[in-house]
Amino acid sequence: MSSPAIKLSPERHAQVKAIGAALGGLSYAETVGYMVNCEIAKGTIPPGIQGVNLVAGNTGILIGLDDQPPVPFSKDGVADLAKTLRAFVDGDEKAQKLVNMQHNYLIERKGNGVKLTIPFAGKVTKSFPCDVARDLAELLAA
């Protein structure tokens, strides 16, 4: 996926920065994420993350990353993955890499974000900025 550039007038740029400052010093990306999540909450757009496919089942969730086949997760596995994602992005988890053999995933720090690999010994990986990883944790916990 490409990294789109956002062209804003200096006045709009200043407004977005002011919103971030008023919300407790959010970064520019976190501020845009906040605005997106406000629109999701209002129903303007549905919840979801591009390249992440979640399909609920009776015993858990199938999680697919990009065009790769989905990987089954039990309800306990989904809850654990959501909790671990939050711990990584909130700074509660100090490890650089965590392999969860019981629930079959790997999370590692990647720059200012995290990289998720499912199954942990597989080649299906996707990197997320921290604010998007936090959104993913919320989707998994829902």
pLDDT tens digits along 70-120:
899 999 999 999 999 999 998 887 889 999 999 999 999 988 889 999 988
pTM: 0.84
pLDDT greater than 80 at residue 3: no
Residue 1 pLDDT > 60: no
Residues with Cβ < 8 Å from 135, sequence gap 6 or more?
33, 37, 49
Q: What is the DSSP letter of 68?
A: S
Q: What's residue 84's pLDDT?
A: 94
CA dihedral (55, 39, 131, 49) positive or negative: positive
In contact, 28 and 17? CB cutoff 8 Å:
yes
